[in-house]
Amino acid sequence: MRKWMFILGIILVTTVIGIVFLDGTEEEAQSVLLRSKLFAEVGGEAPSFTLKTLDNSDVYKYDNKLGKPLILNFWASWCGPCKLEAPELVKLYEKYKPDIEIVAINITAEDSLKSAKKFAETYGFQFPVLMDEDAEVTDLYIVQAIPTTYFIDKDGIIVDKVLGSVEPEVLEKKLKSLLH
């Protein structure tokens, strides 16, 4: 009888552990799936967003239906590496603007509107400059360092993400890979 009780106890403990483990695994899988739909991840669809433009007269809406590649650059006016990268973004925009879009998102939650305007004027930004005043899009795109640049193909899929400034040659190479 003791032998059967021992075996029954082992089966019960194993079953309980299995149920707890499976529930945790399923919950984790659902969390990963949900995150991939709600947050920006390489290989996933770029999340949609709407932000005010720098002059506050309009809004810019990104919804994955741009139809051409997008370079999405998160920056702040006080960021040293952003100052190095800004002229390169301007050059690339001038060179490739009919075929690509560049959007500069100022992390206004950590910057000021006045400083952002001065930065955009100083570097001659001709592409959309957006203000992320509440850091909602910054959080959505999981920005952990400034600058952070996303490379999104014409179908709205995130192809690459770079934390920190991108060397000019690398930036252009990544841009060209979006065009093919």
Strand, coil or helix: 90: helix
Report how far residue 124's alpha carbon sits from residue 151's, in angstroms, rounded to the nearest whole number. Answer: 21
Q: Is the pLDDT of residue 12 over 90?
A: no
How does 61-70 read in b/e, with b if 16+ C-beta sit within 10 Å?
ebeeebeebb
User: Do 157 and 167 contact (CB within 8 A), yes or no?
Assistant: no
| 154 within domain boundaries | yes
Note the pLDDT of residue 7. Answer: 46
Residue 79 shares a structural domain with residue 110: yes
**Can you tell me which residue has the tokens 């959505």?**
140
Note the pLDDT of residue 64. Answer: 72
Residue 94 shares a structural domain with residue 167: yes
| 109 within domain boundaries | yes
Q: How would residue 149 be classed by pLDDT, with cut points 50, 70 and 90? A: very high
| 96 within domain boundaries | yes
* For range 97-124, the mean pLDDT: 94
pTM as predicted: 0.77
Q: Is the pLDDT of residue 166 over 50?
A: yes
| 107 within domain boundaries | yes
Residue 10 shares a structural domain with residue 93: no
| 101 within domain boundaries | yes
Note the pLDDT of residue 57. Answer: 73
**AA letter at 59:** V
Cα angle 91-134-71, degrees, rounded to a multiple of 5: 25
Q: Is the pLDDT of residue 142 over 80?
A: yes
Report the helix count and the strand count for the chain, using DSSP H and E: 5, 7
18-27, 122-131, 160-169: which range is least confident on average? 18-27
Q: How would residue 102 be classed by pLDDT, with cut points 50, 70 and 90? A: very high
Q: Percent of the chain scored above 90 by pLDDT?
A: 64
Note the pLDDT of residue 38. Answer: 58
| 115 within domain boundaries | yes
Note the pLDDT of residue 59. Answer: 84
Nearest residue to 102 via CA among 144, 147, 143, 44: 147
**AA letter at 56:** N
* For range 75-95, the mean pLDDT: 96
Print the domain residue range for 26: 1-38
Note the pLDDT of residue 13. Answer: 41
Residue 18 shares a structural domain with residue 74: no
User: Do 81 and 89 contact (CB within 8 A), yes or no?
Assistant: no
Q: Give the mean pLDDT of the chain.
A: 82
Residue 53 shares a structural domain with residue 84: yes
Structure tokens at 133: 């005043």
